[in-house]
Amino acid sequence: MHSFRHLYIHIPFCRHKCGYCDFNAYAGLDGLMAPYVDALERELAFAASSYPFGELRTVYFGGGTPSTLSPELISRLLTRVRTEFSLEAGAEVSLEANPASTDVERLEAWRRGGVNRLSLGVQGFDRRTLAVLERRTDGAMAEQAVRLARAAGFRNLSLDLIYAVPYQSLESWQQTLQRAIDLAPEHLSAYCLTLEEGTQLFRQWQRGDLPAVDPDEQWMFLEKCQSALTSAGFHRYEVSSWSRPGFESRHNRSYWQCRPVYGAGCGAHSYARLGAGARRWWNVARPQSYISSDTFIEAGEELGPRKAAAERLMLGLRTVAGVRTEPGFEVEIERLRSAGLVETVGRVVRPTRRGLDLNNQVALAVL
């Protein structure tokens, strides 16, 4: 097994479960925070002693809402990460934060613990859009969070935005992009809203209480996004990711490049490479079960060489830089090339702009 150099830590707690959210996240379980952090510490110690780890290049606290953890609990975790693992110089340590819980005290704790990149879940500025998404933050809170983060010394900020929300107009999206640009982040993720089965919004849509936005309209939103961010000096390096040069998310890139990532915490996924194949496994999803579990793992899957290679292509072609071609996929890649979805440069195959927008078609071809 190749050694892990990327670590993901899942924090499942939220103030409120938003209507669009299909992540492994829970509201009203704050009482479990302390035992959950205990369990995480156990898992980290177990992982460090059971799997090969190199110097960590990235650590990522995702959720849920990692910023809901009290300064004491997050400090404990950050310390534990550094005692169990060694981090390479300049390692990227990211934390997802909700503007509502981004306060001076926590910012201070994150800085002290070594967090050097914040991903702020802004999602939007327009009140109606935020209401449809059931976000309990507003533009003013987002602006304040950015100001405080800058004051606390964070030099690498990312903002999350969501587009193609029912009732959202292109004009309002344009204004949202402008307000985000005005906050001068280093990185922006703009996600097209997907109505995932099991979410509140999906049910509303099924009942006919919510209009869907068709893919052509979604594309218009994406176009606005691309032109606004490009002219503001950002470059699109992945389907939903834009950054200033040098500020691409190194952790996220590890997923698209199929590098081994260890995922700790409830529901977290780990990906390991074994020879020409790979193995993926995931932890038990519910916080309570995770806390009382000995082995943490719920299930996993083995990926044979062909499937592992197909995944590398499918994920690698989400990034503008592309991926090394894989032997045995010549016919598929040629078909995609003649369809104008990819181009090949030496041994690298990379998506065209159309190929990025039609990544599912790319994936269907190689899977």
Partner 1 sequence: MPGTPPERIRNFCIIAHIDHGKSTLADRLLELTGAVSAREMVDQMLDTMDLERERGITIKLQAVRLSYVALSGETYELHLIDTPGHVDFSYEVSRSLAACEGAVLVVDAAQGIEAQTLANMYQAVEAGLTLVPVVNKIDLPAAQPDLVAAEIAEVTGLPASSVLFVSAKEAIGIREVLEAVIREVPPPRGSVAAPLRALIFDSHYDPYRGVYVYVRVVDGELAARTRVRLLNTASVHEVDEVGTFTPRPVAAASLSAGEVGYFTAAIKNVADARVGDTVTLAVGGASSPLPGYRAVKPMVYAGLFPSDSDAYGSLRDALEKLQLNDAALVYEPETSAALGFGFRCGFLGLLHMEIVQERLEREFALELVTTAPTVEYRCVLRSGAVVPVDNPSLLPEPTSIERIEEPFVRLSIIVPSVYVGAMMELCQDRRGVFKHLQHQLGERVLLEYEMPLGEIISDFYDALKSRSKGYASMDYELIGFRPAELVKLDVLLAGVPVDALSMIVHRAKAPFIGRRLVEKLRALIPRQMFEVPIQAAIGGKVVARETVPPLRKDVLAKCYGGDITRKRKLLEKQKEGKRRMKRVGNVEIPQEAFMAVLSLD
> Contact residues for partner 1 (CB under 8 A)?
8, 23-24, 62, 191-194, 215-216, 218-219, 222, 239-240, 252, 255-256, 261, 263, 267-271, 280, 282, 301, 311, 314-315, 318, 339-341, 356-361, 363-364, 367
Looking from the CA of 35 toward its CB, the CA atoms found within 13 Å total 11
- Which tokens hold the place of 146? 């950015």
Q: Tell me the C-alpha distance between 19 and 333, whole Å.
A: 38
Residue closer to partner 1 by CB (options 276, 364) is 364
Residue closer to partner 1 by CB (options 131, 315) is 315
330-338 vs 359-366: helix crossing angle, rounded to 10: 150
Residue closer to partner 1 by CB (options 107, 164) is 164
- Which tokens hold the place of 319? 């990034």
CB of 50 to partner 1, least distance (A): 19
According to DSSP, the residues that pair with 87 across neighbouring strands are: 56
Asked if residues 94 and 60 have their Cβ atoms less than 8 Å apart, the reply is: yes
Residue found by looking up tokens 């592309």 in the block: 322
Residue closer to partner 1 by CB (options 33, 363) is 363
CB of 131 to partner 1, least distance (A): 20
Residue closer to partner 1 by CB (options 109, 323) is 323
- Which tokens hold the place of 214? 């068709």
Residue found by looking up tokens 């990692």 in the block: 66
CB of 21 to partner 1, least distance (A): 11
Omega within 30 of 0 (cis) for the link into 322: no
Q: Lay out the sheet containing 157-163: strands in order across.
A: 235-238, 241-243, 187-192, 157-163, 117-123, 87-97, 53-63, 4-11, 262-264
Residue found by looking up tokens 């177990």 in the block: 46
- Which tokens hold the place of 279? 């193995």
Q: Lay out the sheet containing 277-283: strands in order across.
A: 269-274, 277-283, 297-303
Residue closer to partner 1 by CB (options 72, 217) is 217
Residue closer to partner 1 by CB (options 142, 341) is 341
CB of 28 to partner 1, least distance (A): 22
Residue found by looking up tokens 């919510």 in the block: 210
Q: Tell me the C-alpha distance between 224 and 222, whole Å.
A: 5
CB of 258 to partner 1, least distance (A): 9
CB of 22 to partner 1, least distance (A): 10
CB of 240 to partner 1, least distance (A): 5
> What is the distance, to the nearest Å, from the Cα of residue 168 to the centroid of all Cα atoms in its chain?
23
CB of 341 to partner 1, least distance (A): 7
Residue closer to partner 1 by CB (options 118, 261) is 261
Q: Tell me the C-alpha distance between 185 and 313, whole Å.
A: 30
